Structure 1
């Protein structure tokens, strides 16, 4: 830990290194093939980003990096629901601060009526703004996931969907097509019997797989978990998960996610017979 902290202090003293740190850190983590390494190192990275944000409280890059790392840790490595909720709260806080630093009118827009969100985005923003709104939408989705027992949180799903649809309208393959995965999950929450339209979610999962030529393995895992289970389609479920287990996980920007996907695929496939009986 002392060696890690000494490296952090050295980086903080170098203006060039500090400027490059968020993107380099994110890339290094996403290309790591051992999730346990990330899990062990992430707490130190979180402390480092907290320190950088305290030092540079108006720096959007550090705020976004903090939001992304806290959100990822909450969704994957948190030890329990309480820790996940706390980290999702921190991710949301950093994402909101980044959005408000970017444009205070953007914060007013996302806080306003849901019916005005899309028209406001179209009137004031364009493709040069999608990074900040996508990051905010991702943190928001993670926060909702960590607070599924709160109906006030669930009621905000529509706004997240609007943000992601707007981003996909400019770049359907944004973030290695993860924008399509988000939309697939958001559209696969309810079965047709209660008004859901999971076929829309299915189309988004298929688009993510198509755009990444099958390299986004988490798209297949969530396709199986969210859609195939919802629609009780065991053949599709098992085929998707087996494809994930048989795939090469190494892909630029996706290696860590793919390793985690393979871990989830093995667990889901092992319980398939019991789930679909």
Structure 2
């Protein structure tokens, strides 16, 4: 069990936050707030200097907290807060206790954002898996954004405290959430829901329940949806699948494609820059990992 816990922790660190860095702040109450949200979202997503985001985002976390305190029922702002808190905690916060506090806040905001319209989901989220999954079918297309943020924040909460076995036991429920998202829209969020499913199926080896070939299928779908422009999908394909099955040819090909790719894709710049950083690290350790 300890080995599996370590593998899961390694699998989720940074990845959850990087995937969740697509911060959508549009739809806030009031025209001025709505315009600010859209502008902030664009500025973060298209920033090619991660350190600028690290330094500047905390001010907006406080701003979002204030806006939510002013209108605790604003679903759009709750979801925006969940995205930004979850992503920032996983990508930019090195202190474990602080990251956990922020992940818990993201989870709380996400639950409130979804369960305002779909309270039945939250009522059974602690119930056995077979009772929880049917509730997800109550969520229709109009609740797609809220459901995706709910699943993402839940995953982030798990990765922030992967020593919590009770939290780890909820991973199948997180997968069920993402499967529902994909069922409603396979191309949602540039295929990021597909990417969640890919990673969830390749967190651990087959000997302890992993399903690498299922994961490969989801990786390939995620890459196809973004037309290869979402570089993080290729990085995780190399890291989670190619390394697990010891396929160095696939591993190095994917990573070389990432480091030579154009990062300035609208809405994916920050994620792509982070992906290139990770790709270079993985390539540097490739020979040692594959022992060739």
Same fold (TM over 0.5): yes
Q: Give the paired residue count.
A: 263
Partners of 2:209 and 2:188 lie apart in 1 by 29
Q: Are 2:236 and 1:204 equivalent residues in the alignment? A: no
Indicate the structure whose relative CO is greater, using CA pairs within 8 Å and at least 6 residues apart: 2
Partners of 1:23 and 1:89 lie apart in 2 by 25
**1:37 corresponds to which residue?**
52
* CA positional deviation for 1:183: 0.5
Partner of residue 177 from structure 2, selected from 163, 168, 193: 163
* CA positional deviation for 1:214: 0.5
Partner of residue 87 from structure 1, selected from 102, 118, 121: 102
Partner of residue 255 from structure 2, selected from 225, 241, 261: 241
**1:62 corresponds to which residue?**
77
* CA positional deviation for 1:50: 1.0
- Residues 17-41 of structure 1, C-alpha deviation per residue, up to 9 Å, x if partnerless? 1134334322321122221211111
Question: Any stretches of 5+ residues in structure 1 without a counterpart?
Answer: 1-13
* CA positional deviation for 1:227: 1.2
Partner of residue 193 from structure 1, selected from 194, 199, 207: 207
Partners of 1:238 and 1:81 lie apart in 2 by 32
* CA positional deviation for 1:110: 2.6
Q: Which has the higher helix share?
A: 1
- Residues 176-210 of structure 1, C-alpha deviation per residue, up to 9 Å, x if partnerless? 11111100110102222334211111111111111
Once the two structures are overlaid, the 10-residue window that deviates more, 16-25 or 245-254, is: 16-25
Question: Any stretches of 5+ residues in structure 2 without a counterpart?
Answer: 1-28
Q: Are 2:115 and 1:110 equivalent residues in the alignment? A: no
Distance change in 2, residues 1:227/1:189 (3 Å) = same
Larger Rg: 1
Q: Are 2:84 and 1:74 equivalent residues in the alignment? A: no
* CA positional deviation for 1:170: 1.2
Partner of residue 98 from structure 1, selected from 88, 113, 135: 113
Q: CA RMSD in A?
A: 1.6
- Residues 96-138 of structure 1, C-alpha deviation per residue, up to 9 Å, x if partnerless? 121222332231133332112332222x222222111111000
Partner of residue 216 from structure 1, selected from 230, 253, 259: 230
**2:9 corresponds to which residue?**
none
Partners of 2:94 and 2:206 lie apart in 1 by 34
Partners of 2:245 and 2:95 lie apart in 1 by 29
SS, match of residue 49 in structure 1: helix
Distance change in 2, residues 1:52/1:233 (3 Å) = same
Partner of residue 262 from structure 1, selected from 257, 260, 276: 276
- Residues 14-70 of structure 1, C-alpha deviation per residue, up to 9 Å, x if partnerless? 931113433432232112222121111111111111111111111111111111001
Partners of 1:24 and 1:64 lie apart in 2 by 16
* Counterpart contact for 1:190–1:196, Cα < 8 Å: yes
**2:161 corresponds to which residue?**
147
* Counterpart contact for 1:60–1:102, Cα < 8 Å: no
**1:272 corresponds to which residue?**
286
TM-score (norm 1): 0.90
**2:67 corresponds to which residue?**
52
Partners of 2:54 and 2:204 lie apart in 1 by 32
